[in-house]
Each structure stands twice: as C-alpha cells, then as structure tokens.
Amino acid sequence: MEVRTIVLRVDGTNCDEETVISFKKAGSTVDLAHVNELIRKEKSLEDYQVLCIPGGFTYGDDIAAGKIFAILLKYKLSKDIKKFVEEGKLVIGICNGFQVLVKTGLLPALEGIMKKQEATLAFNDCGYFQDRWIYLKHENKGKCVFTKGIKDIIHIPVNHAEGKFVADRDVIRRLEKNDQVVFKYVDPDGNYAGFPWTPNGSMDNIAGICNPEGNVFGLMPHPEKFIHKWTHPYWTRLPGSSDVGDGFAIFKNAVEFAKKKL
C-alpha cells in the first residue's frame, strides 16, 4: 500500500528538503505543503498517514521557539489534527517541529490531545545555538512507533538554540511511568553526562518523547541529517562502516508501520 506523508512548512521552515528526501528514501510518497494549503482546504490531512513538522525557525522563533506556528495550528487546524492523532496516524516533529508539538499540547499530551502545554523547550544553558554531534540512548520500551528495534545508542547532530527540555517533576515522573521517554543524551560510553554531551541542559537528559499512545513523537536532534554515511562528521576515519546513517531507522519505522497498519 502506498504510504503518504505530508511535510508541513510555514514561514521560516528550513529543514524541509532533507526531511522530504528522508521519507522518500524510506519508501513514502511525500507532499511538501505550506500550512496555508491546509487552511484553504486545497489539501486535506485525511489523505495522509504520516504528518511531519520539520526543523527551522518558524516565524523567526519570535516570542519563543515554535510558539507562533503552534498557535496557528491550534486555532486553524486543531480539529483535523486531533482526528489525525485519534485515528492512530503518525506525527513526528523534529527540532522546531518538536517545539511546535510541545507548544500545541500534542506532546506529551498527558491530559489529552492538545489540551494544554505540559512542558517546554527553553534556551540552551550554554547561552548559544549549538551545532554538534551527540549520542542518544534509546530508552523506550516499546511504545514509540518510530524507534522500535533501533540501536541502543545512535549518533546524530543537534542544531538548536532552544532545546532544553523542562517540565514539572511530576510530568517527568509520569513520562517515565508511561514509557513516553524515547531518547536521552549520553556520552560516547552510554552514561548520562552534562555539557557538551547534553548540549542544552535538558532535565533528566531528555532529548525526545512520545505521546501516551506512541504515535506522536518529537525530538530535538536531527535524524534527517544522518541518513547516509557521508554526512557523518568523521566518516573519512571509518572505512567499511555501514552506508546507512543512524537517523534513517526512524523514517523507515514510520513508513513500515504506516504500510502495515494505516
């Protein structure tokens, strides 16, 4: 069955091209659409099984990262998005997309879909935008559709200024209890560690989370930046290593799941 993915862009989206390439490589048909096309009903979410909000600086990250786009989605498209999520279809937000999902209340959605904002992504502790490759430990025990069977530790980059995951202690306890924590930052040996391994100062080293049902997933690092070996920062030292980058599994999982179940 054909899997159809919609990559949703708006003013300031800028990782759309590589995200489209990643989903195509994973076997999906991909539509890159401006949110205006959904608002004007020229396109409909009903026609897709996967919705992706890629990275960027939507509306310049004015007010706070992803905030304006989140408000736009909430007030113009909340009905359609809610239905999409309720049907078990897949939503992934990467970097700015993650910030948007958190600020719409699509993640972690402990109290229900888009009910309220329960966490945030605050400015990096180091005070600056950071571009660096980090290690992520896969912490999910099986709920998150996007990371089933993924390697224990993956190596991909972060490229953000506002990536510090912050929430009430109680929220974080519930995330752990519900198996909603997906990735945590670790050092190369797999131990939880501070800067630079956790590049932003996230609480409990959290890098990515999913909703209670596991079909909505967001993360600050960029899996679409590492779908083939040659974007690795020191591939010239690794002759004979796999041609496939660590980030690709996330796209592949999404498309395979959609093919079988949606």
List interacting residues with other proteins (CB under 8 A).
Answer: 9, 11-12, 14-15, 17-18, 21, 34, 36-37, 55-57, 59-61, 128-133, 157, 159, 161, 222, 224-225, 227, 230-231, 233-237
Minimum Å gap between C-beta 17 and other proteins is: 6
**Angle, helix 248-261 to helix 16-25, in steps of 10 degrees:** 60
Alpha-carbon span 120 to 190, nearest angstrom? 25
Give the closest residue to 252 by CA, choosing from 8, 50, 22, 16. Answer: 22
CB nearer other proteins, residue 121 or residue 175 = 121
Give the C-alpha distances (Å, rounded to integers) separating 53 from 187, 203, 205, 258.
28, 23, 23, 17
Q: What element of type H or E holds 154?
A: strand 153-160
Minimum Å gap between C-beta 186 and other proteins is: 16
Active site residue 52: no
Give the C-alpha distances (Å, rounded to integers) separating 104 from 3, 34, 218.
26, 18, 12
CB nearer other proteins, residue 14 or residue 78 = 14
CB nearer other proteins, residue 89 or residue 232 = 232
Active site residue 222: yes
Catalytic: which of 139, 162, 224, 232?
224
Catalytic: which of 15, 95, 144, 210?
95
Minimum Å gap between C-beta 119 and other proteins is: 24
Contact indicator for 251, 224 with CB cutoff of 8 Å: yes
Residue 73, φ and ψ in degrees, nearest 5: -65, -40
CB nearer other proteins, residue 15 or residue 255 = 15
Minimum Å gap between C-beta 150 and other proteins is: 19
Give me the active site residues, please: 95, 222, 224
